[in-house]
Amino acid sequence: MRVLAEGLGAYVQWQPSLHVVTIRYRPNAAPSSPVVYATAPPAAPTATPLPPRPVIPPGPPPPRPPREDETFVVGDALVATNVSNAFAHGTGRSDSYAGRGVGEFTLLNIPWMLAVEGASYGFHHPAGPVTALGSGGATVIPALDGREDEFAAKLGVGVAPTRIYAGIGLFRASDSLGTPVTTGLGAGLTKQPDLDQATSLYGDVWYYPNVQGVCPSATCPAGGTLAHGVLTFRGGGTLRLGSDQSRLFLDAGYQRERRKAKSLAPVDTTLSAGYIGLGIRF
């Protein structure tokens, strides 16, 4: 009995005097809580740093595409024409025009330019006195219309890959009122347009120090040589018309010419105008 009782967790006490067995049930003690030892929290995982991005040195710039020689012609109408000479004082006519043709070529592996250009400026002379050539006297001339005409031929050698040329040129000037024809050599710089681009700028400055011509006695009573120093300027731009394969372009800009009076010339001459027109590239 004792063995069974104690096996079930009871407490057995013998009572010898009563010969009675007293069995008391003693519940098992609650198990003690496990001892928790304080521990440091696990360390947060450390991110592995990425290797630095390799630095690739810049390579050489792409080679410039080979330049193509250009040939083109342009015809322009002159607008806001202004003519100041012995006959006119800041007047101009709308029937003024200009044109030019340019050809580029390569010779001995050097770029060259050949250009011819001309312009005709219309003007009006109101009735009044005009200073005569060479004499310094004045002659009364009735109202009339006249023209100042000019022509230039230029040969240039490339001095920069952007179509900049330095060269020499021949200049010729005449008018419709009997002034002797004058010619002379000069030099200058020209920036030709890049017609392979949709838009482009161009310009030139040329100086002819001694543009002269013989003045016959019928025009100059004392005879002699009529001479000017001539400075010309042009600046403008082009705009391709149509697709990338189009050969047509719009041309617009401003040009000015100053003829400084030298021997026998009565006054300085100034010609200026804006211009707009069309060109074709071959």
Question: What is the pLDDT averaged over residues 245-274?
Answer: 94
| CA count, 13 A, side-chain hemisphere, 226 | 26
Q: Give the Cα separation of 236 and 254 in Å (integer).
A: 6
Report in angstroms the alpha-carbon separations of 191 from 14, 108, 142, 153, 269: 133, 21, 43, 15, 26
Retrieve residue 110's tokens: 């050097």
What is the SS3 assignment for 267? Answer: coil
Count the neighbouring beta carbons within 10 Å of the beta carbon of residue 265. 23
Averaged pLDDT, 45-68: 77
User: pLDDT tens digits for 80-100?
Assistant: 999 999 888 888 898 999 999
Residue 231 in contact with residue 209, Cβ under 8 Å? no
Q: In this model, does residue 63 exceed pLDDT 80?
A: no
Buried/exposed code over 164-202 (b: 16+ C-beta within 10 A; e: otherwise): bbebebbbbbbbebebbebebebebebbbbbbeeeebeb
Model confidence at 210, in pLDDT bands (50, 70, 90)? very high
Partners of 272 in beta bridges = 82, 256
Question: pLDDT above 70 covers what percent of the chain?
Answer: 83
Q: To the nearest whole number, what is the mean pLDDT of the chain?
A: 87
Q: How far apart are CA 81 and CA 78, in angstroms?
A: 6
Residue for token digits 């322009």? Answer: 76
> What global pTM score does this model have?
0.74
Q: Helix (H, G, I), strand (E, B), or coil: what is residue 67?
A: coil
Q: Write down the pLDDT at residue 263.
A: 87
Chain centre to alpha carbon of residue 81? 27
pLDDT tens-digit series, residues 99-158: 999 999 999 999 999 999 999 999 998 877 787 776 667 787 888 899 999 999 999 999
Residues 13-26, mean pLDDT to the nearest whole number: 62
Average pLDDT over residues 47-58: 80
Domains and CATH numbers, the chain: 1-28 (no CATH), 71-281 (2.40.128.100)
As a whole number of angstroms, the distance between CA 227 and CA 220 comes to 13
